[in-house]
């Protein structure tokens, strides 16, 4: 409960809780001790009034001429004023039943800005919070997970595009790529991969940059295509993701995928400009495995065998079948 306001102007010595013979150092110490106490009470009209009263009393007693004038005019303290106790260094002017509790923040921002006005502290706290959130998002996009939009029909019908030739949907699929997985393991056949295209892709396909294709050939594999069917090391690759109407009828002579390179093909074989045209992709160009479609809502799905396995263990998804050679 806030103490009642006095009905008269209080003696500056009473305000600071010091005796009339207090030294300048004792007056200064008493002033700062009281300021710290009132600030722990929070910013209210009562504390603001008393902080102002402390400031006035301190300024008066710190001015030798004004203090001398006050002492000469007082002669004896007014009867309505309670005489202060003599000042004792280190003693608190407040009853021991109401100790001053100071909370020390472990937040480095709070500690660095504790001497600033409260509006400034709030503004700096918001700036640091927003900057931290942006930094976390950018770090996640750069090293963990990044979203991509499917711009063309080369992966139809596994991944939909919109508005272009061969596209089956009104909205393009948005997918998530795991950007760190290939730092811990090698790419696997059948995975959908985001990668940077070799320079030849721009010249041969009229487009370059970042592509999304399916990984078909691993380093050292002997790849070939006969009448639209892919063969790896002489055995036909089982590709359930290829729809009959999307299969081509091309034939390509066998070639060996070089060491450290990967052979990429689109699921829409009849409309895919891929490694058959511009060659294999270096390991360093692989960005990450596409593990999920997150947009539009009716297309939400998971492609990663490892993620499916984890979810399958808790009964959420069944494991997809592995690709088989026959």
Active site residues: 154, 213
Task: Give CA–CA dist 288/280, Å, rounded.
Answer: 16
CA dist 139 and 177 (Å) reads: 14
Cα–Cα distances (Å) from 16 to 8, 44, 66, 274, in that order, read 16, 20, 16, 84
Is 22 within 8 Å of 87 (Cβ atoms)? yes
| Separation CA 91–CA 93 (nearest Å) | 7
| In contact, 268 and 154? CB cutoff 8 Å | yes
Q: What pairing do the DSSP bridges indicate for beta strands 174-178 and 261-265?
A: unpaired
User: DSSP for 94-139?
Assistant: S-TTS----PPP--HHHHHSTTS-HHHHHHHHHHHHHHHHHHHHHH
For helices 64-74 and 45-62, give the axis angle rounded to 10 degrees: 100
Where b means 16+ CB within 10 Å and e means fewer, 15-34 reads: bbbbeeebeeebbebbbebb
d(CA 262, CA 275): 9
Alpha helix ranges (H) inside the chain: 12-16, 24-40, 45-62, 64-74, 108-112, 118-143, 199-205, 275-278, 305-312
Give CA separation, 223 vs 32, 190, 231, in Å.
83, 14, 6
CA 185-302-269 angle, 5° bins: 85
């Amino acid at each position: 409960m806030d103490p009642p306001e006095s009905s008269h102007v209080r003696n500056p010595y009473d305000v600071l809780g010091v005796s009339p013979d207090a030294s300048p150092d004792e007056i200064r110490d008493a002033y700062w001790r009281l300021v710290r106490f009132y600030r722990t009470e929070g910013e209210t009209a009562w504390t603001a009034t008393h902080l102002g009263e402390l400031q006035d009393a301190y300024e008066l007693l710190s001015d030798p001429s004004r203090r001398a004038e006050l002492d000469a005019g007082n002669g004896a303290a007014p009867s309505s004023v309670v005489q202060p106790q003599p000042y004792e260094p280190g003693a608190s002017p407040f009853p021991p039943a109401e100790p001053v509790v100071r909370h020390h923040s472990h937040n480095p921002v709070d500690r660095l800005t504790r001497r600033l006005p409260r509006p400034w502290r709030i503004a700096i706290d918001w700036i640091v919070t927003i900057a931290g959130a942006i930094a976390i998002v950018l770090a996640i996009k750069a090293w963990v997970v990044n979203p991509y939009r499917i711009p063309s029909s080369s992966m139809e019908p596994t991944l939909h595009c919109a508005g272009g030739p061969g596209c089956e949907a009104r909205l393009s699929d948005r997918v998530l790529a795991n950007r760190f997985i290939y730092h811990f393991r090698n790419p696997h056949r059948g995975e959908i991969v985001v990668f940077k295209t070799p320079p030849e892709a721009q010249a041969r396909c009229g487009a370059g940059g970042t592509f999304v294709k399916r990984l078909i050939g691993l380093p050292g594999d002997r790849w070939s295509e006969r009448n639209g069917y892919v063969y790896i090391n002489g055995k036909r690759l089982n590709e359930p993701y290829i729809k009959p109407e999307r299969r081509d009828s091309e034939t390509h002579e066998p070639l060996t995928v070089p060491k450290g390179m990967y052979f990429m093909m689109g699921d829409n074989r009849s409309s895919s400009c891929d490694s058959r045209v511009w060659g294999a992709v270096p390991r360093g160009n692989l960005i990450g495995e596409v593990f999920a479609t997150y947009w539009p809502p009716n297309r939400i799905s998971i492609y990663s065998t490892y993620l499916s396995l984890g979810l399958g263990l808790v009964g959420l998804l069944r494991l997809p079948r592995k690709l088989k050679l026959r």
